[in-house]
Structure 1
Amino acid sequence: MSTPVELRAALADRLTKDGTLTEHAWESAVRAVPRELFVGTYFTPLAGSVPTSYRPVRKGEPGWLEGIYDDLTLVTQLDGRTGPEDTAGETATGVPSSSSTLPSVVLRMWQQLDAEAGHRVLEIGTGTGYSTALGAHRLGDGNITSIEYDPVIGAAAAAAIKAAEFSPRLIIGDGLRGDPGGGQYDRLIATCSVRYIPLSWLHQVKPGGRILVTLSGWSYANALALLDVTAPGEATGRFLADPTSFMIARPHDRPPRPTLDLLPGEERPTLIDPTTLDSWTGGWVAQLAAPGAIRMGAGGQQILWDLATGSQARTALGPDNGWTVTQRGPVALWDQVERAVQSWQTAGEPHQDHFGITVSATGQRVWLGAEDGPSWNLPI
């Protein structure tokens, strides 16, 4: 059986070999920070279960330590309240609400942030504290401030960080409001996703500083953005090629949805293939076009439902093996999605790194190709 030191070294070697780790200082952090202090217990999904069931993996049981040093995301909480230690039976069901993100993603993002010695960094979403400890090792305790929304998760992270002998500044609160004490930061990194860039971040990161955050929405499509703050309250940036997803910040999450009744509406042939929405970028473009809607279904049978207006759109197989769409309500959801997807297809269906974002006092806008290209407003 391998020791934690050996497992950390093996993880560092794997991430260096596959190109994830490109800076020696971050490789040293992986070899030094004991992930097992931050993930005492965790859930693993049971393959093929519908809805997904999770098995608690408890400290000391066979495979526990090896699982911690796999390059995997480890779910640590379900439904905002249930941890592995709270599970009396063999399995539990629920929606993941906290996790320890796979190390390769955490380390790739820290390197993309381009934080250097002396930079002050604000981290949104302490989670288990593993990412926070990596940052503290690389940049120093005094340069890291981390904010966690959930007090139970935050307390556990604080204990683990202390046990690992780090002492960054830790805050329990709403990270979307930034540092409650104010202050100016050189970098901001978010380990949750948001529907739009909170204005507080744009005033707490210095002009010339950077923000790295995943943009998501109520259809849970994701895109990783790196923004340069150009002035207080203003920024511009590009989306990165890496397919990165995080749980959406709880204040930005969609409201509870009632039971969906599929009601009659106006039917017509679709102008796009509904299966286009199943691709990573295609689904994200659809979300940009209809930000107030949730998307359900898959393949040719897509369902869009706007919770605020009750508007619906659903696709189905039509005559001659084509596809039809049925829409009802004040918002023509599929019309909006069609226009956005067609603009993307005209550009050659580029990946997300061909998109950019501009944030100003007048709003937040995602654009394709260049700032004067097709664009969509974020729902601020």
Structure 2
Amino acid sequence: MSASARLRQTLTEELTGSGTLTEPGWRDAAGAVPREFFTRSYFRPVPGTVPTAYRPVREGEPGWLEGVYSDETLITQLDGRIRPDDVAGGTVTGSPSSSSTLPSLVLRMWQRLGAETGHRVLEIGTGTGYSTALGAHRLGEARLTSVEYDPVVGESAAAALGAAGFAPRLIIGDGLRGDPAGGPYDRLIATCSVRYVPLPWLHQVRPGGRILVTLSGWSYANALALLRVTSPGEATGRFLPGCTSFMIARPHDRPPRPLLALLPGDVRPSRIDPAKLDDWTGGWVAQLAAPSAERMGTGAEQILWDVSTGSQARTAPDPEGGWTVVQRGPVRLWDRVERAVQRWQAAGEPHQEEFGITVSPSGQRVWLGTEDDPGWLLPI
């Protein structure tokens, strides 16, 4: 048995033993698809560096193959253009823009999608092609279409898929438009996050079909939702257990902002502990309340900056106890966040799986508990 096959078998056994892999078809796919075809080189973050520095790891180097078969996300591109082979030596800084997601998450999502043999599936975000290969092995390449926004990433994925023996239908284009010429689909799975469910998806998935997508925002809080299309353009669904995050789709990412200057404003006591925003669900609830705000800071010292209006909010410990908040601008960001967090606290601070989403011609609404809850509208 080759080193690659041995490591692949070990990883598959670990994922089976942990309860991640529960379906034989996906277990077979995990044991058959060689991940190294899709991660010939990758970046490793250098611990302790600020900003984070990345070291390229290339094919054949000591530890390269073991890294490929670790259950980790492997960064394959920075800043939308820098690939590991572009770095002559040493390290480089940048923002991750493409990756090979950790195998346990990829396989867990495929299983949650509920795709079966015979289903037509649309994948948004080909990335390295590893997830696409798993889907092609399990479902049949003729039933799978994958869309990639970045042409360089897409060409690399196509070459890797071909080398691994797979030939699904691949499209280079804006995944938020889906596949206008290819529907209807039975299932849609997105390996990038979005601020709202793109309307074309809701018309390209047949009624009764499912959409699995991570909803995110400009504060980069994430929540994984499984929706059922009820009619063209309409859907309903629930958020799923666990903590799932993906890079946001580039057309949905926040616009560039100038250097942030913290300016004076109106001061008052905060009615919530700002550290609640560090909670996985607490931060996401705050993002629902202030969807155009970017969040920075941690603990008692949080900063919200509204990309569209320039509004600001920042918190700090009060020497006499509690916390203070300074707000300025037309949008009182902390007022909105407080109300949302207090509603969540009154419900017992549940995880995201207690939330749902309804999509209709009147908007996209996230609610807590039942659909009768007024909830929060997503920014469309």
The TM-score, its normalising length taken from structure 2, stands at 0.99
Alpha-carbon distance in 1 for matches of 2:344, 2:156: 44
Aligned to 2:149: 149
1:249-304 deviation digits (Å, cap 9, x = unpaired): 00000001111111111000000000000010000000000001000111101000
Aligned to 2:164: 164
Secondary structure at the counterpart of residue 320 of structure 1: coil
Alpha-carbon distance in 2 for matches of 1:232, 1:133: 29
Q: CA deviation at 1:2?
A: 6.2
Q: CA deviation at 1:150?
A: 0.2
Alpha-carbon distance in 1 for matches of 2:217, 2:308: 15
Identity of aligned residues (%): 74
Alpha-carbon distance in 2 for matches of 1:335, 1:187: 39
Q: CA deviation at 1:182?
A: 3.9
1:205-231 deviation digits (Å, cap 9, x = unpaired): 000000000000000000000000000
Alpha-carbon distance in 2 for matches of 1:211, 1:253: 21
1:224-243 deviation digits (Å, cap 9, x = unpaired): 00000000000000000120
Secondary structure at the counterpart of residue 320 of structure 2: helix
1:143-171 deviation digits (Å, cap 9, x = unpaired): 00000000000000000000011110000
CA contact (8 A) 2:180 2:204 kept: no
CA contact (8 A) 1:44 1:57 kept: yes
Correspondence 1:103 to 2:103: yes
Alignment of 1:1-380 (within 5 A): 3-380=3-380
Q: CA deviation at 1:89?
A: 2.4
Higher mean C-alpha displacement, 244-253 vs 87-96: 87-96
Unaligned runs of 5+ in 2: none
Secondary structure at the counterpart of residue 358 of structure 1: strand
CA contact (8 A) 2:327 2:333 kept: yes
Secondary structure at the counterpart of residue 327 of structure 2: strand
Q: Which amino acid aligns with 1:62?
A: P
Secondary structure at the counterpart of residue 365 of structure 1: strand
CA contact (8 A) 1:267 1:326 kept: yes
Alpha-carbon distance in 2 for matches of 1:90, 1:139: 42
Segments ≥4 residues shifted beyond 3 Å: none
1:169-215 deviation digits (Å, cap 9, x = unpaired): 00000000010314200000000000000000000000000000000
Q: CA deviation at 1:307?
A: 1.4
Alpha-carbon distance in 1 for matches of 2:374, 2:61: 53
Alpha-carbon distance in 1 for matches of 2:167, 2:2: 29
Alpha-carbon distance in 1 for matches of 2:243, 2:374: 22
Alpha-carbon distance in 1 for matches of 2:31, 2:22: 14
Q: CA deviation at 1:373?
A: 1.6
Alpha-carbon distance in 1 for matches of 2:229, 2:301: 41
Q: Which amino acid aligns with 1:236?
A: T
In the alignment of these two chains, the number of paired residues is: 380
**Considering only aligned residues, what root-mean-square deviation do their CA atoms show, in Å?**
0.9
1:331-364 deviation digits (Å, cap 9, x = unpaired): 0000000000000000000000000000000000
The TM-score, its normalising length taken from structure 1, stands at 0.99
Unaligned runs of 5+ in 1: none
Q: Which amino acid aligns with 1:136?
A: A
Alpha-carbon distance in 2 for matches of 1:307, 1:209: 35
CA contact (8 A) 1:73 1:100 kept: yes
Q: CA deviation at 1:142?
A: 0.6
1:59-98 deviation digits (Å, cap 9, x = unpaired): 0000000100000000000000000000122111000000
